[in-house]
Amino acid sequence: MAQLLRDNDYSSQTITLIKSDQLDLNGHHHNIGISEGKMFFEATVSCFRKVVSIVPVVIVCLPHNFPYYIDLIHNANIPHALITAGKYVLAFPITYHYINGIRHLAWDWATGFSMKATYNSGYFVMTLALLVTAVFVNFF
């Protein structure tokens, strides 16, 4: 949906077409920045982590034991790349949440509140989470 807005300068009667999802509460044009993107990413990871936490409950309720299902996956001839991708999908949200929790503990100690420190720690957490996930997937 689009909305027509008139410029505040009444001497020029130009009308601009702006997407309504890019408007803030005051009706001004708003570009989505890195903070909003990171918040969306964290919410998505949190939701995915909650869904993944159901997996152990489902495994306990299945009729056979755990080694049976591991053998079933090995015998299904699933490509190694697909299994590795699945491991990344399962391991990254947990790793990211754990490392970002340490970042929040630093905030509880009232450190790292400047914008530069916040962005730098965010990039560091993302990079470290990707590296730790790669170690978990490839070595365990």
CATH number of 101's domain: 1.20.1300.10
Do 37 and 18 share a domain, yes or no?
no
Do 52 and 7 share a domain, yes or no?
no
Structural domain containing residue 21: 1-31
What are the pLDDT tens digits along the chain (140 aa)? Answer: 444 444 444 444 444 444 445 555 555 555 666 667 777 777 887 887 777 778 778 878 889 888 898 898 889 989 999 999 989 988 998 899 899 999 888 888 887 778 888 888 889 999 999 999 999 999 98
Q: How many domains does the chain have?
A: 2
Rounded distance between C-alpha atoms, residue 140 and residue 136, angstroms:
5
Residues 94 and 133: beta-carbon distance below 8 Å? no
Do 38 and 3 share a domain, yes or no?
no
Do 66 and 89 share a domain, yes or no?
yes
Do 109 and 123 share a domain, yes or no?
yes
